Amino acid sequence: MEIAIIAHDGKKAEMVQFLNEHKTILNDKNIHLIATGTTGTKTEKAGFEVIKLLSGPYGGDAQIAARVAEGETNMVIFFRDPLEKHPHEPDIFMLMRLCDVYNVPLATNPATAELLIKAL
């Protein structure tokens, strides 16, 4: 199972905390993490194996969206900062739309992510 993780700058620490709280589940051999650039770097520093893609503003969100459309990514955990403007909003909306189109579970906050992880 491939899980994509993304976090806006103001949510990266929260993402790392979330991952650490669910380390046992996420370190399972059958779960592979992919992440956008900086989120991936912070995830690696926390001790997780992760495939890093481009940073979100440089196409990382679009890369994950493509993996969703290709059937590679099975779940997306995207801790968004809804109070900030982001220059790559079109890519973010495309990713969210493709998760809906391809029926891929998408969590945009820790409460929803918690439910998805517990369902594993």
Query: pLDDT tens-digit profile of 35-90?
Result: 999 999 999 999 999 999 999 989 999 999 999 999 999 999 999 988 877 777 88
Per-residue pLDDT band for 29 (boundaries 50, 70, 90) equals confident
Report the C-alpha dihedral over residues 118, 96, 42, 32, rounded to 10 degrees.
50
pLDDT reported for residue 116: 97
CATH code assigned at 57? 3.40.50.1380
Question: Can you give the pTM of this predicted structure?
Answer: 0.95
Q: How many domains does one find in the chain? A: 1
Cα–Cα distance list, 37 to 43, 55, 59, 112, 116 (Å) = 10, 4, 10, 23, 23
DSSP lists the bridge partners of residue 101 as none
Q: Answer yes or no: are the C-beta atoms of 4 and 35 closer than 8 Å.
A: yes
Query: Could you list the active site residues?
Result: 61
Write out the residue range of the structural domain in which residue 87 sits.
2-119
Predicted local confidence at residue 82, as pLDDT: 83
Give the containing element (helix H, strand E) for 39. Answer: helix 37-45
